[in-house]
Amino acid sequence: MIRLVKVELKRLYARRLTIIGIAGVVLITGLMLFATWRSARPLSESELQQAQTQFEQVHSEWVRSADEWKKQCERDYASAPDPKPSIAEYCSYPEPRLEDFGRPRFTFADTMPDLLYGASYLLAGAAFLIGASFVGAEYSSGSLGNWLTFEPRRLRVYGSKLLGALLGHVPVAVVTLALLIGGTALIVELVGNTSTTSGKVWGDLLAIAGRSVVLAAVVAALGSVFAMLLRHTAAAIGLLMGYLVLVEGVFGGFLIKAQPWLVRLNVDAWIKHGTTYWVDNCQTMPDGIYNCTSLEKTVSFGHSVWYLGIAAAVIVALGALVFSRRDLT
């Protein structure tokens, strides 16, 4: 089995699509770093001047009108629909600060998680494509049948292909994320603000990166299973896209109660260690007004772990069952 996995890893890295996919991921990572550098660099003289002008305008307006705004707000508070925050919070008009104007300050601790979330989806997408084509190409070329004349134990063959796709994506994801984190840290160190980068921030970032690596590896294996089930790379990609657009996009938008069972939200919860979504709660008030309020709901990390784990296990088991019984013509 180990020998077969080694062969599959060699085949994976020798494939042109794998090389192109990795090059694409590295290129996009480079673009993300470039965008980071542009955001992190200090404000120019003209930007500072512009921010100062805007601040002065807003501040003078605040000095003139803040008290009046507050009184008006307090008068209106009673008639505002429930639920509503406290009056102090509802009618708070804090003094404008210069640092709130112009391009936002770039801090490593605030920005890096978002970059990692984006990179996670990028890696998962590339992993699915590479994983699906890894097996789809074998069906298209007919080489899978030839392979089975050398190793007829189908579950071994199936397992080796999945493990090859899975393990093969670990170094790709690790290197990409290391490049992104290291590159961003370097950029921020040189031109940005690292004052809030504590040990806990690094710990959280590494945890996100670790979960992202696991996600990319598993998605690569699932891409292989999809291609195994459908016998074609394009069919596997088409099925995924169709599911995401129709089920997650269209039907998911209507079926609000199904939100915790959507793959995308659970993937979000996996990467971010829990996530939230909003549900509109609409009702007709006693005074006849139709009122909607948005409620924040949570999908926990634990929920995402068992949901995604069971889904992946079922798909892998289904692939094994089909492949072990399928006639290869």
Partner 1 sequence: MDDLAVSTRGLRKTYRTRRGKRVVAVRGLDLDVPAGGVHGFLGPNGSGKTTSIRMLLGLIRADAGTMTMFGRPVPERLPEVVSRVGAIVESPKFFPAFSGRKNLELLAEAIGAPRSRVGEVLAETSLGERGKDKYRAYSLGMKQRLAIAATLLKEPDLLIFDEPTNGLDPAGIREIRETMRSLGAQGRTVLVSSHILAEVEQVADTVSIIGHGRLLASGTVAEVIGGAGKGTVKVAIDNHEAAIPVLTEAGWTVRLDGGYLYVDGAAHPADVTRRLAERGMYVAELAPVRADLESVFLELTAGEGLGTDEIKPGPRGGDR
> In whole angstroms, how close is the CB of 172 to partner 1 at the nearest point?
19
Task: Pick between residue 16 and residue 97 the one whose CB is nearest to partner 1.
Answer: 16
DSSP single-letter state for residue 107: B
Give the x-and-dash track for 13-52 against partner 1 (CB under 8 A): -xxx------------------------------------
Residue 11 in contact with partner 1, rule: CB under 8 A:
yes
Query: What is the CA angle 98-103-104, rounded to 5?
Result: 75
Size of the site for partner 1 (CB under 8 A): 27
How far apart are alpha carbons 132 and 227 in whole angstroms?
Answer: 5
Sequence-separated (6 or more) residues with CB below 8 Å from residue 193: 105, 106, 107, 108
Q: What is the 3-state secondary structure (H, E, C) of 155-223?
A: HHHHHHHHHHHHHHHHHHHHHHHHHHHHHHHHHHHHHCECCCCCHHHHHHHHHHHHHHHHHHHHHHHHH
Task: Pick between residue 91 and residue 137 the one whose CB is nearest to partner 1.
Answer: 137
SS3 286: coil
> In whole angstroms, how close is the CB of 15 to partner 1 at the nearest point?
7
How far apart are alpha carbons 82 and 75 in whole angstroms?
Answer: 16
Residue 6 in contact with partner 1, rule: CB under 8 A:
yes
Task: Pick between residue 50 and residue 140 the one whose CB is nearest to partner 1.
Answer: 140
Stretch that binds partner 1, among 12-20, 109-117, 168-176, 179-187 (CB under 8 A): 12-20
> In whole angstroms, how close is the CB of 44 to partner 1 at the nearest point?
49
Contact 18, 169 (CB under 8 A): no
**Quick one: tokens of 89?**
């919070």
Q: Site residues for partner 1, window 105-164 (CB under 8 A)?
A: 137-138, 141-143, 145-153
> In whole angstroms, how close is the CB of 157 to partner 1 at the nearest point?
9
Task: Pick between residue 10 and residue 84 the one whose CB is nearest to partner 1.
Answer: 10
Task: Pick between residue 1 and residue 207 the one whose CB is nearest to partner 1.
Answer: 1
Query: What is the CA angle 214-139-321, rounded to 5?
Result: 65
Residue 329 in contact with partner 1, rule: CB under 8 A:
yes
Give the N- to C-terminal CA distance of the chain in Å, as an integer.
25
Task: Pick between residue 32 and residue 130 the one whose CB is nearest to partner 1.
Answer: 130
> In whole angstroms, how close is the CB of 231 to partner 1 at the nearest point?
11
> In whole angstroms, how close is the CB of 111 to partner 1 at the nearest point?
40
Task: Pick between residue 137 and residue 305 the one whose CB is nearest to partner 1.
Answer: 137
What is the H or E stretch that residue 23 is in?
helix 16-40
How far apart are alpha carbons 283 and 291 in whole angstroms?
Answer: 5
> In whole angstroms, how close is the CB of 142 to partner 1 at the nearest point?
4
> In whole angstroms, how close is the CB of 323 to partner 1 at the nearest point?
12
How far apart are alpha carbons 67 and 324 in whole angstroms?
Answer: 76
Contact 106, 193 (CB under 8 A): yes
Task: Pick between residue 10 and residue 71 the one whose CB is nearest to partner 1.
Answer: 10
Residues that bind partner 1 (CB under 8 A): 3-4, 6-7, 10-11, 14-16, 137-138, 141-143, 145-153, 325, 327-329
